[in-house]
Structure 1
Amino acid sequence: MSHDRIKTTLLAIAALGLAAGLALLAAGLPVQADLVWTAGVVPVLAALLIEIVRSLSRGEVGLDIVAALSMTSALVFGETLAAAVVAVMYSGGTFLESFAEGRARREMSDLLSRVPRTATRRRNGALDEVPLDDIALGDLLLIRQGDVAPVDGTVESDRAILDQSALTGESMPVRLLRGQEVMSGSTNAGDAFDLRVARRAADSTYAGIVRLVEAAQASRAPMARLADRWSLLFLLVTVALAAAAWWLTGDPIRAVAVLVVATPCPLILAVPVALVAGLSRAAHFGVLIKGAKPLEALARITTLILDKTGTLTDGRPQIVSIGVHGTWSEDEILYFAAALDQASKHPIAQAIVAAARERGMVLPVPENMVETAGEGVAGTIDGRNLLVGGAKFVASQLGTTDIDGAVAETGSVVVSLGVDGVLAGHLVMADALRSGTAEFLAGLRRLGVGRILLATGDRRAVADSITAGLGLDAVRSELTPDQKVLLVLTERKNGPVMMVGDGVNDAPALAAADVGVAMGARGAAASAEAAEVVLLVDHLDRLLPGIEVAQRARRIALESVAVGIGLSILGMIAAALGYLTPVEGALLQELIDVGVILNALRALRINPRLGAASAEPEAAGHRPA
């Protein structure tokens, strides 16, 4: 029998026993009522004692002991009705806690429930339904309307309309064109389209997300362990107050009343519910936090260390400007360069091709292609002899002056184009700063991040150029992976540190930080494994709602504990002074517990004030040219 089903059964037994006993008492059969109440309490008490023994064997002392003491003492001193009420209240409280946690986990559980098991593959002119493990790189899949993309790939049809809300929180579907990337886990919201497989199922975005979700659901928060430590103090206070009430008045019923007021306790209800609700809410905004522990740590961050390439910048070379020579136009320069670069797998070549396609250019197939590795490509397009490559390489081939120093800025690369033996123009490429970076950093300051640093392996001149005007507290350049770790450890002396990166070289620093954040679920596997937080899409500003949700969820947990414990102590004092009977005390405590859980569930409705707009950015892949 599952744990949740056991809780449901115990609640049903306790509630049935209480109701039946009340019916017998109303019928003038008090002895039989006592027996029925006792029968309803014993199974709950037995299950509770078993759980206490298990906890003690693990070295954990919790507030379940108070519940066991209250039910046992009530039975011993003949307060069977109070014992029955406590049994219903305790089993009801644990059931409500379980229900609330299930409700709070729904966002992440939805991710797990949507995992596709099979895919429709095109092969030899036919469609076959095949298991995910049988899908190979390069296979062509048919994604029908309503289907979930089972693997990462590229659109092979003219267009695709995808709902990525389960992954990113984006409420509007995105429109992708031929050749653009599709994240596994996206739902086809338009007509059927073909998907070319780029990653096997086990290596795809969605599989990685599912593994991270499963890890997140199995964690406990530092605040939950802190609640365990507080619970020992609360247990001692409860027992001492009950003993004092009995000793000073000679009335054991007052001791029973004190014990039942303390059962169950807001400490064991509020913290897990609030923090799990925070995990769920953060996932809604595309921020996957691996557990309640990093969520609680995320709420206390005071220092942020950012990697540069792929984090502060897009990590992909983009065309900054196009220079022309003679009568050529910018579009013609881009057209010829991109057409020839289709034959190269170099990242810069692929960036030029992508830029041309974003402008709607239809590129012809190059002929007579010859590539000089790392230098450039020669070939024929539309009957013209073309040469595309680094400025020095093209200049040497054409016998012209090298233009690299004349047009390149710090951190940029110049790609030159020669047409029929004459220099036709050049494209200036750079890894551009992410749009909205200044606003993102200002938002971090408002959330209490007092110190922001850049840590990069690039040259100092490149680092200074890319961060000019951002107001960073420090820029550390030319760092090796172990030097990044040392920087993290040094900054930890000033407070909790968050490190954000996306490459394999960032993994050690991510692991060393209080909170490591990996950029994008498709980033380097090592960085995603080492990080406690993964941004499900490649938008750095998603950190803002993630941090704000963490801070407010932690605040809600603390508020619930403080108010719940305060009211419980007041109720215990009233019981010790004789103002509450055991039954009245049990009913009062149940009202407190219900209020605590409902307050903790407020974390599900957190609406971040900062960065919430990033949950609905422009369609992925559609950047202005």
Structure 2
Amino acid sequence: MDRRIPWKPFRRAFAAIANRRFEPALLAVTAGALIAGGIAWLADARDIADLCWGLGTVVAVVPAVVWVLSALQRGHAGVDLIAVLALGGTLAVQEFLAGALIALMLATGRTLEAAAQRRASHDLRALLEHAPRSARLRTGTEVREVPLAEVAVGDLLVVGPGEVVPVDGRVAGTTAVLDESVLTGESLQVERADGAPVRSGVVNAGGAFELYATATEQESTYAEIVRLARQAGAESAPVVRLADRYAAWFLPLSVAVAGLAWLVSGSAVRAVAVLVVATPCPLLLAAPVAIVSGLSRASRHGVVIRDGGALETLGRARTLLLDKTGTLTSGRPRALDVAAAPDRQSTEVLRLAASLDQVSPHVLAHAIVDAARARGLDLSVPTDVTEEPGRGAIGTVDGHHLTVGRHDGAAPHPPWAHAVDNRAVLDGAAVAWLTVDGRLAGAVLLRDPLRHDAPRTLRRLRAAGIDRLVMLTGDRAEPAREIAAVLGLDDVRAELTPADKVAAVRAERARAVTLMVGDGVNDAPALAAADIGVAMGARGSSASSEAADIVLTTDRVDRLADAVTIAVRSRRIAVQSALGGMLMSLAAMAAAAFGLLPPAPGALLQEGIDVAVILNALRALRGDRAGRPPLQPTTEALLHRFAAEHDDLQDVLEAVRNAADQLSDSPGPVALAAVREAHRLLTTRLLPHEYAEEHQLYPALAASLGGPETTATMSRAHVEIERLARRIATHLTLSDADTHSNTNTSADIDSDGTLRPEQLDDLRACLYGLYTVLRLHFTQEEENYFSLAP
């Protein structure tokens, strides 16, 4: 006969108790027992009342013992041990009401904690779904699909359009156009020439190409990412509850006081009374209430925090590691500037390029079309459109033969085009060239821009206690350093592989509690390796969300600052509530030890302490004045309006710079005409916009931000913009006066005019200065004001 068989029901019962779904049932039973006993007591059925309260106490003792044994098995004694001693003591001395009250408090605390600790699975399901499972093997003229495990080094594989590269290899015979964002996070597509190495996991964004395998499935890059994520996730230590950390000293103190009271007085009831008032309900209730309140507030800000332990750890974080693309930058290329040949306008260049690119699936084409539509340009319908992967689009627009994309370089670049090339290198931008009927007509510079809310977010994070900010990116060093300089980061590490990121996270964890933020599949291992991983879940990969403890559900990085601020405040309130409650419990313990507080009144007093600390813990539900300032709906509407106008005014900034460039190239009639056009745009569009900001937006913002001084710097910029615009107008008036004196005819500001040699330096300085001031002013408004709007 197997002696183990009779114990199976008990093992099943303990497994059920360990399940988090048990706590709500326990809460219902203990509350029902306390209420039923109270009704019987009021009906003068004292024996039935004691029976109900005693049953409620016994029901709570069994799971409490299981929780204590489980904690001891993990190597620490938690707050539940005092509750077990108090419950057992009340049963021993027949103080059933006190036991029922303690049982209810224990069940309530465990239920709140269970609600706060809903950790989702980190099984990296999305990583596995993206991983290829087969490859197309070419043998002679035959191409057949084989399981990925059968691919050997040296095999010739065919990768079709849109397919994932199955193993590491080298391009064979042609140029491959690849989307490597899954590994590097960089949204721009890249080209790999014949013989260039290609890593598994990247996506073929062009036509079919052939690949010589240089690694097997298990030795390839993508398989290594999956392994790293699994290993890093397994290394994450379980979070120790805040309550258990305080119980480490409160528990032995309580037991010592109870034992001393029994020893001195000889009364077991007095010892039980000490344990009753020592039951750490401030830890069992107040800390979970504060944490749950913090989770609730975070969810209202679009931040999903997976459990209370993650919120506690987030509140202790001191180092922040950030990915670049999609986290600090928008993750989508945008039009940085539009350059035009001397005989063309930038708006026409953008309109023609966007008209042709309407039918292109390329990520840069989408950016060009978005820029044109943001400026309200009317696009034409293209015809005879073809696209060569890695080269660009070819077609007919308004009867002209157009190409948009790379320039083959067969024809020599004119001077203005060389200036575009130089600026692209300096700005780290990609260039989409426009040719019209075989001649270069202009270019669109594109770059993944910095998020407008990134600078404000990092300032708020430093104010919340983050003292080290580091960028970890797979992108090139030059653009990474530029962004790091703009944001004032403490360190930047570029051109990192996923393994490099994990190593960097581990090194930072050795120094302080570390927070990692990312959005791509390549970030998943690093997110899992950090103390707390945060995923940009609105547009980031599901793999990064699976590997993260916190997910930002809106595409705004400033929600990270909200999360940290809420976590710091919630943890501070939880600590205040726990310590305050324990101090009051210590005072009650002293009274009970001297026989001044019997068990039942002591339990009621402990309930009063609980109410006080819970009310304090509920403060975590309220907002923090240090967070984002509240805005009136009218102010939000104004922010959205003027932000949209900034997009519309980009062509004015380009006209100012174009006029300055033309003055530098050849200060003749063409340059003067460009200056006149810039002046017209300034007076008809930009200056009215600045006037409206000064008299409508800034007064509304001053009411929300704390007074007019908060917008004083921006108002001073308006004065400088108007001053430079007037100075440009004066130069045009002087040129017209010269024309009038030379021809003895009346002239106005729209006449041809000429520029004196002594005017050129100052006029050029005015134009370049105005362009610089406008760029800085627009950036400051977008970062400081427009980023406030949800």
State the TM-score, normalizing by the size of structure 1: 0.72
The Cα of 1:562 is off from its aligned counterpart by 0.7
* Aligned ranges 1:174-573 → 2 under 5 Å: 222-224=239-241, 226-228=242-244, 230-231=246-247, 234-263=250-279, 265-390=281-406, 392-393=407-408, 395-396=409-410, 403=418, 404-408=420-424, 409-573=426-590
The Cα of 1:296 is off from its aligned counterpart by 1.5
Letter of the aligned partner of 1:320 in structure 2?
L
* Aligned ranges 1:601-616 → 2 under 5 Å: 601-607=618-624, 609-611=626-628
Q: Which moved more, 1:503-512 or 1:52-61?
A: 52-61
Give 1:163's aligned residue: none
| C-alpha contact (below 8 Å) 1:542/1:611 kept by paired residues | no
| C-alpha contact (below 8 Å) 1:398/1:418 kept by paired residues | no
Q: Which moved more, 1:90-99 or 1:447-456?
A: 90-99
The Cα of 1:324 is off from its aligned counterpart by 1.6
CA distance in 2, matches of 1:70, 1:528: 43
Structure 1 residues without counterparts, runs of 5 or longer: 25-31, 109-218
| C-alpha contact (below 8 Å) 2:54/2:99 kept by paired residues | no
CA distance in 2, matches of 1:516, 1:528: 9
* Aligned ranges 1:18-33 → 2 under 5 Å: 18-24=38-44, 33=46
CA-to-aligned-CA distance 1:389-424 (integer Å, 9 cap, x gap): 12x33x537987864524423311121111222222
Structure 2 residues without counterparts, runs of 5 or longer: 1-20, 120-235, 649-790
Give 1:624's aligned residue: 647
The Cα of 1:86 is off from its aligned counterpart by 4.0
CA-to-aligned-CA distance 1:334-365 (integer Å, 9 cap, x gap): 11111111222111111111222223334333
- Alpha-carbon spacing, 1:37–1:259, altered in 2? closer, same or farther (3 Å): farther
Choose from 56, 80, 85 the match for 1:44.
56
Q: Which has the higher strand share?
A: 1
Letter of the aligned partner of 2:466 in structure 1?
V
* Identity level (%): 43
The Cα of 1:271 is off from its aligned counterpart by 2.3
- Alpha-carbon spacing, 1:523–1:436, altered in 2? closer, same or farther (3 Å): closer
CA distance in 2, matches of 1:484, 1:604: 36
| C-alpha contact (below 8 Å) 2:79/2:284 kept by paired residues | yes
- Alpha-carbon spacing, 1:65–1:44, altered in 2? closer, same or farther (3 Å): farther
Letter of the aligned partner of 1:376 in structure 2?
G
- Alpha-carbon spacing, 1:3–1:492, altered in 2? closer, same or farther (3 Å): closer
The Cα of 1:550 is off from its aligned counterpart by 0.4
The Cα of 1:547 is off from its aligned counterpart by 0.3
- Alpha-carbon spacing, 1:256–1:445, altered in 2? closer, same or farther (3 Å): closer
| C-alpha contact (below 8 Å) 1:271/1:561 kept by paired residues | yes
Does residue 599 (structure 1) correspond to residue 611 (structure 2)? The answer is no
CA distance in 2, matches of 1:498, 1:72: 43
CA distance in 1, matches of 2:531, 2:249: 28
- Alpha-carbon spacing, 1:334–1:592, altered in 2? closer, same or farther (3 Å): same
| C-alpha contact (below 8 Å) 2:116/2:308 kept by paired residues | no
CA distance in 2, matches of 1:510, 1:494: 17
Give 2:96's aligned residue: 83
CA-to-aligned-CA distance 1:434-459 (integer Å, 9 cap, x gap): 22433322222212211212222233
CA distance in 2, matches of 1:348, 1:559: 53
CA distance in 1, matches of 2:628, 2:588: 43
Secondary structure at the residue paired with 2:608? helix
Q: Which has the higher helix share?
A: 2
| C-alpha contact (below 8 Å) 1:258/1:576 kept by paired residues | yes
| C-alpha contact (below 8 Å) 2:310/2:532 kept by paired residues | yes
- Alpha-carbon spacing, 1:18–1:279, altered in 2? closer, same or farther (3 Å): same
- Alpha-carbon spacing, 1:363–1:448, altered in 2? closer, same or farther (3 Å): same
The Cα of 1:426 is off from its aligned counterpart by 1.3
- Alpha-carbon spacing, 1:284–1:387, altered in 2? closer, same or farther (3 Å): same
| C-alpha contact (below 8 Å) 2:517/2:534 kept by paired residues | yes
The Cα of 1:554 is off from its aligned counterpart by 0.8
| C-alpha contact (below 8 Å) 2:61/2:87 kept by paired residues | no
CA-to-aligned-CA distance 1:519-543 (integer Å, 9 cap, x gap): 2333122222222222112211211
CA distance in 2, matches of 1:101, 1:229: 15
Does residue 11 (structure 1) correspond to residue 31 (structure 2)? The answer is yes
Aligned residues: 500
| C-alpha contact (below 8 Å) 2:453/2:556 kept by paired residues | no
Letter of the aligned partner of 1:314 in structure 2?
S
- Alpha-carbon spacing, 1:66–1:529, altered in 2? closer, same or farther (3 Å): closer
The Cα of 1:322 is off from its aligned counterpart by 1.2
Secondary structure at the residue paired with 1:432? coil
CA-to-aligned-CA distance 1:345-388 (integer Å, 9 cap, x gap): 11111111122222333433321112121111110122221111
The Cα of 1:574 is off from its aligned counterpart by 0.5
CA distance in 1, matches of 2:84, 2:70: 18
| C-alpha contact (below 8 Å) 1:519/1:535 kept by paired residues | yes
Query: In terms of Rg, which structure is larger?
Result: 2
CA distance in 2, matches of 1:72, 1:444: 47
Q: Which has the higher contact order (CA 8 A, sep 6+)?
A: 1
CA distance in 1, matches of 2:88, 2:497: 63
CA distance in 2, matches of 1:406, 1:357: 27
- Alpha-carbon spacing, 1:364–1:55, altered in 2? closer, same or farther (3 Å): same
| C-alpha contact (below 8 Å) 1:385/1:421 kept by paired residues | yes
Give 2:700's aligned residue: none
CA distance in 2, matches of 1:38, 1:56: 26
CA distance in 1, matches of 2:377, 2:331: 24
Aligned-pair Cα RMSD in Å: 3.4
